[in-house]
Structure 1
Amino acid sequence: MKIENLIAATYAPMHQDGSLNTGVIKDYAQFLINNKVSGVFMNGSTGDFVSLSTEERKALTLAWSENKSSDLYLIDHVGDPSLKVSKELATYASDKVDAIAVLAPYYFRLNSIDKLVQYCKEVAACAPKLPFYYYHIPVLSGANLNMIEFLKIAPREIPTFAGIKFTNNNLIDYLHSKNFEDGKYNILFGFDEIFLSSLPLGAKGWVGSTYNHIPSLYYKIKELFEAGQMQKAAQLQTKAIRFVEILDSKGGFNGVAKGFMKTYGIDCGPSRFPHSNVSNEVYDDIKKELEKIGLSEFLGK
């Protein structure tokens, strides 16, 4: 099965004291479904997995699985610098979600395709019934490896290999990866700010943080592209970029965007250090700026 449409990289909901608030996830899931989001990528970069304990990551996996719906495909990121921890998380997720994913270890960084395949193979084997995705995000993992070369080896070594979450702006490597073996694998595009650029290359599935907030804008971009209205599509893509820039300017995108979920009645609570938490007054200013650029109509319902 190939995953299509928008997949939200979800936040880790927290109480004001910084502890997990998994009670939010039921409403969070329904909110995403109501906004035509097709799936969830949990415990990833947007979900601050590096600031969570192993037990907290398991608690989020369990909470999403308990609120599982046929309308929402669940991908659990189980990557960790420790192969032992990653395998433990994969084993835990093996009977709870629809797929697992890992990024490359990011402290002692991998410098070869062979090492990356070895790491992925061991993790994937811990959830032998689940599709496996590699999470390619070299700007954070430091594993700046060529994915077309990875694809030449990984599927042979990993029986459950399904595809790649491709969070990189190297569109040449993305295109080659997508077309590899006649498009056999699910190459999910993961760079929201150049969503429009992925469409002529045949992208069908996307994973990103801003799909929590403005999914209807991206569906409109896709609609305009398919109708040949490239100028209008580009104008909307510019608004998507401005959404990121405006929130980022208020203290850093990750923390501010998490807090912005309160706008939709989904209170994900504060972010953990080093992300910023800002006041309600700042969010009032953000909403005014978004209104000025014509984004109000695209904010989630």
Structure 2
Amino acid sequence: MEVNNLIAATYAPMHIDGSLNVNIIKSYSEFLIKNKVEGVFMNGSTGDFVSLTTEERKQITLAWSKTKSSNLYLIDHVGDPSLKVAKDLAAHASNKVDAIAVLAPFYFKLNSVQKLVEYCKEVAASAPNLPFYYYHIPLLSGANLNMLEFLKLASNQIPNLKGIKFTNNNLIDYLQCKNFQGGKYNILFGFDEIFISSLSLGATGWVGSTYNHIAPIYYKIKELFEFGKIAEASELQSKAIRFVQILDEKGGFNGVGKGFMKTLGVDCGPSRFPHSTPTKKVYEEIKYELDQLGILDYLSK
């Protein structure tokens, strides 16, 4: 199966004391499905995986697996600076989700595509029954490597390679990856702020954190673009960008975005250090600014 349309990079729900609150994941999944989100990318950057223990990541995987259905494709990010941990997480996920993904080790950074392929090959082999995605996010991983070169090597060495979660604004590299071997691989676009740019390149699948909050605005952008209403689509994209900026200005997008989920009916709880969750008053200010921006009708319901 190849998932298309929007995939939400999901948060790790927590109780007020900072412990995991996996009980909310069932209603979280129902919320996403209601808003026409077709997939989940769990335990990723939005999910604060670096602030979780290995056991907590496993608990999140297990909780999402209990919601598994044809309506929601589950991708579990299992990457870790420790190859041993990444392989353990991949094996744990092998009978629970639809696919796995890894980003590059981000402390001792990789300096070649060959080393990246070696790392991915080891992890992918720990769950050989699952499609495997490489999570390309050089801004955070430090692995600013060419993805076309990665595909050329990996395509011959990783039998279950399915594609790339491409979170970078290098659109040339993205397009070349998308066209590689006649479009054989599923290259998921992962840069929400330039969603509209991906449409002209033929993107059909996207992974992002704001698909939790404003999924309807992206489907509207796509609809307008397809009808040739480029100016209107661009205006909505600008509003989506401003949404990110407003939340970021209130204390940092990751923490503020997670807390904002409560205003949409899904209480994901507080964020862990170094992210912070603002007060109720701040969220009231945010809603006022979003009202002035004119996008309240585009919030996920």
The answer to whether TM tops 0.5 is yes
- The amino acid that maps onto 1:198 is S
Give the match for residue 16 of structure 1. 16
Give the match for residue 277 of structure 2. 277
Alpha-carbon shift at residue 70 of structure 1 (Å): 1.2
Correspondence 1:1-301 to 2 at 5 A: 1-301=1-301
Alpha-carbon shift at residue 94 of structure 1 (Å): 0.3
Distance 2:108 2:135 in 1: 17
Instruction: Give SS of 1:40's match.
Output: strand
Alpha-carbon shift at residue 3 of structure 1 (Å): 1.6
Distance 1:300 1:213 in 2: 5
Cα offsets for 1:181-221 (capped at 9, x unmatched): 11110000000000000000000000000000000000000
Instruction: Give SS of 1:206's match.
Output: strand
Distance 2:283 2:182 in 1: 46
Distance 2:66 2:220 in 1: 32
Instruction: Give SS of 2:81's match.
Output: coil
Q: TM-score, normalised by structure 1?
A: 1.00
Distance 1:269 1:256 in 2: 11
List structure 1 runs of 4+ shifted beyond 2 angstroms: none
Alpha-carbon shift at residue 2 of structure 1 (Å): 2.1
Give structure 2 stretches of 5+ with no counterpart: none
Alpha-carbon shift at residue 276 of structure 1 (Å): 1.2
Alpha-carbon shift at residue 277 of structure 1 (Å): 1.2
Give structure 1 stretches of 5+ with no counterpart: none
Q: CA RMSD in A?
A: 0.4
Distance 2:300 2:230 in 1: 24
- The amino acid that maps onto 1:267 is D
Cα offsets for 1:94-124 (capped at 9, x unmatched): 0000000000000000010000000000000
Distance 1:138 1:172 in 2: 15
Alpha-carbon shift at residue 67 of structure 1 (Å): 1.4
- The amino acid that maps onto 2:135 is Y
- The amino acid that maps onto 2:101 is A
Distance 1:295 1:263 in 2: 14
Q: TM-score, normalised by structure 2?
A: 1.00
- The amino acid that maps onto 2:100 is I
Give the total of aligned pairs. Answer: 301
Distance 1:243 1:139 in 2: 21
